[in-house]
Every structure is written in structure tokens, then in C-alpha cells.
Structure 1
Amino acid sequence: MHAALTFLLLFLMAGTIVPVNRHFRQTPGGIPVFVVSNGVHTDVVVPLREPQTGTDWLEQLQQPQLTARFGSYGYVGFGWGSEQFYLASYGGNFPKPGTVLRALLPGPTLMHVDFYQQAPRPGKRVVALQISRAQYQQLTQLIRASFRPDSTGATVLRNAAGYTPEDFFFRGRGRYHALRTCNDWTNATLRKAGLRAALKAPLAGSVLHQVRRSRFHAAAQ
């Protein structure tokens, strides 16, 4: 038992420093995307409307009240996580230990959607990337696939409000558990879109560590 636990911890730690898509290079003048962390959780932030690909996230979300409120905003962030953890952390409260422990077992998930008036400012917890049109299209497909739609194919708004007046929760696909965390979702989404990511990223720092090492094409240096 102890040996298995030790192996698991070593795998998680090693996964942080092992890059996937190590040859990924940013595209000068490409589509801007951001990986944003609050120190515990990570989101992927993208343009609310992206003209090269014709992507309009307000159309994708199909929520007239959100379109009316956020039509003038510039960016939107997406995260994935445990429903019970998210809903227990309203009002700035950290969930009780029992809630945290129960979240380690497979449970339902939500998509966290956060609207930004302007692009996040790069810093300690914000990494800016520029990616190609093809990579962005793949990224948006992966994000869309993480929403659990209703029988008509429409997204399902779980709560009329989130932590602030600018963020909301939608029903998500998949099950959250100890080996499939919110940061694993961000990391896997970046990896599957062809961007630099970690082999395994259970922590926010694991995600930021690899995306921060992304470089531009040699021609731009």
C-alpha cells in the first residue's frame, strides 16, 4: 500500500517536469490565449469573439441574458471542476475538509465561465500565448466538448450567479476525482490542442510551469 502511494506521488511530481509537445512554438501575431491561475485552480482565457475562426462564445453558450450583459466584453475564461467543491466555495469560503475529501472520489462536474472586459495582464499567475488558427480551432472544440448539453444540444446554466457578477457555472461532462482534477483538465486541453503542457498536472503550478516555457518561432527571435 505504501509502495503504491509512493509510486503515485512520484508519478505526479515527475509528470510536472516532463513536457508534452515540447516542440510547440508560439505563432507571432497569432490568436491570443491565456492560462490564468488563482494559485489553486487554472482557467483558459480566450477572445470572446475571434474573427479569424468566426468563433463567438456568446453564440456557443446560447444564453440570451449573458449575451445582453457581456456583449461588449473582450475575453472569456473556462475552467472545469468538481460540482460539490465549486458550490461549497461560494462567498470566498474554502470548502470544509469533508467536502474536499469527498471531491477526491468520482463526482459530477461543472464548467466555470468567467467574462473579462479586457485581456488578463501577464504576470506570476497569468501566462500569455499566441497560437495558430488550427490550434485555436482545436482548443475551442475541446472546450465545447467539456459542456454537458441538454437533449436539444444547448448548454445548461447551473447557477444564475457564480463567485462574482461576471462568472457562471454550467453543467460539465466527465467525472472529477483525485487523478482527474481541475488542473488536469486545463493541462489536457492544452496538450490535446498541440500546446506545450505537462505529462501530468494536478496542481496549478504544474500547468503554469510548462506553458511558461513556450517559445516563439525562430524567425521571430
Structure 2
Amino acid sequence: MSAAFTALVIFLFTGALLPVNRTFRQTPGGVLVFVASNGTHTDVVLPLQDSLTGRRWRSHFPDSSFQARFAGYEYAAFGWGSEGFYLASYDHQLHGPATVLRAAVPGPALMHVRFLRQAPHPGPHMVPLRISAAEYRVLTSQIAASFRQDSLARYELRNAAGYTPHDFFFRATGRYHALRTCNDWTVRTLRRAGLRAPLKSPLAGPVLYHARQAK
């Protein structure tokens, strides 16, 4: 094992333990957001429309029929990840070594958006946070910047359908690779908005752990 590899492993494990924005405190009456996980991947769950900041996500989705389809939905889960890894997951089977190795080298990314009829229930894999309007503006700006947009500022669909009738893939900015994973995207997004997060974490567990420590 080379010294560089050993240093990288130490950095990743140490980064997962070290909190950034450790003085972050929740805002009573603030915008309700969530940090979510399926055990391996993390998402940021946001209201589709918020009265405190005026952010309206629906206006950026492809067309009026798409927007009308989800008019009664209140929240959406946003995640970023490897295009190849996401699309290889359509069969819900375990990924083979070739898929994992391809995702380790720089490649295109997608945004995964899952629409929710209402705010999710807090639980072991769903951490609620009340944040200020200023923090929410930064948080949503970070997420919006991860979408590729057309000339009308609409997000570009990658596929006509996702895993279910309620989720879709959109073309994303940035390149996915072994040192910039889906969970690293969540960490950076939370950190830049001033929310508590690990310094660095390729794994989902530390992301939820640090979000849960927010008072």
C-alpha cells in the first residue's frame, strides 16, 4: 500500500468524523428541509414552493404538462450522481465490478429528482432541519447550479422515466468520480449553505450523523 493511498484513506475517514459549521443552529419557524438516505446514497429534500424565499422549483421543469402533473406535490428529493451508475440501476440489481470501476473514473453526472406528495416523516434515514431564509437561498442556489439548463432556464430531462412514475433524471453539471461521489455532493451542498456536515464523506452514514447533531 503506497503512502499516498494510505494518506487518502486517513483523510477520508478523518474527514467523515470532523464536522464543518459545527456552530450551526436550527431556526425556529424556518424552512423545513430534510437530509435523506437509502443507506448508501444521500439526498436533500426541499419544498417545491416556499413562501419565505419565493423559490418555485416547478417553473424550471420541462414544460407545462410536466409541471401540472406534479402541481399537488409539496416536496422533492434532489440527488446528484454518476450517469452510468444511475442508469444501470433500472433493473434494481446489484452492480457488477465493471459498473463500479467505470464510476470510479471521471464521467457524466445526473440529477435525480423524486417528487413527494407531502413532507416526509422523520426517521432513521430522514433528518429534518429548520433553516433560515438566507441559508435556504444558498442551499437552493447550490442545488440549482447542479442542473444543466436550456435557454429558457428549464432543466434538461435525460430519460422519459425514472425508477417509478414519480422520479426523473436530469442532465447535471460536473463530473462524477471516486473522489467526487453522490455523498460528497450532498456534503458540499450542505456545507456551502452553512449547515453542519462532515468535512469529507464518500459514505452516507456520516452525512446523516452530523445533520442529526444540529441543535
Same fold per superposition (TM over 0.5): yes
Post-superposition offset of 1:96 = 1.9
- Match of 1:159, SS state, is coil
Q: Partner of 2:70 in structure 1?
A: 70
SS in structure 2 of the partner of residue 90 of structure 1: coil
Query: 2:60, 2:153 within 8 Å by CA — same for their partners in 1?
Result: no
| Unmatched runs of 5 consecutive residues or more in structure 1 | 216-221
Q: CA–CA distance in 1 between the matches of 2:63 and 2:91?
A: 24
* Distance in 2 of aligned mates of 1:13 and 1:186: 17
Q: Is the 8 A contact 2:62 2:156 kept in 1?
A: no
State TM-score, norm by structure 2: 0.97
Alignment match, 2:189: 189
Counterpart Cα distance in 1 of 2:137 and 2:86: 28
**Are 2:12 and 1:39 aligned?**
no
State how 1:155-174 maps to structure 2 within 5 Å.
155-174=155-174
The two structures have a TM-score, normalised by structure 1, of 0.94
Runs of 4+ more than 4 Å apart: none
The yes-or-no answer on 1:203 pairing with 2:203 is yes
C-alpha RMSD of matched pairs (Å): 1.1
Q: Who is 1:176 aligned against?
A: 176
- After TM superposition, give the deviation of residue 79 of structure 1 in Å: 0.3
Deviation of the 1:121 alpha carbon: 1.1
Q: Secondary structure at the match of 1:51?
A: coil
Seen in structure 2, the aligned counterparts of structure 1 residues 151 and 73 have a Cα distance that, compared at 3 Å, is: closer
Find the aligned partners of 2:33 and 2:138 in 1 and give their Cα distance. 13
Once residues 87 and 65 of structure 2 are traced to their aligned partners in structure 1, the CA distance between those partners, rounded to angstroms, is 21
Tell me what 2:10 maps to. 10
Superposition deviation, residue 104 in structure 1: 0.4
- 1:56-135 matches, cutoff 5 A: 56-135=56-135
- Cα deviation, residue 151, structure 1: 4.4
CA–CA separation in structure 2 for the residues paired with 1:52 and 1:4: 47
Q: Is the contact made by 2:35 and 2:126 (CA closer than 8 Å) also made in structure 1?
A: yes
CA contact (8 A) 1:88 1:94 kept: no
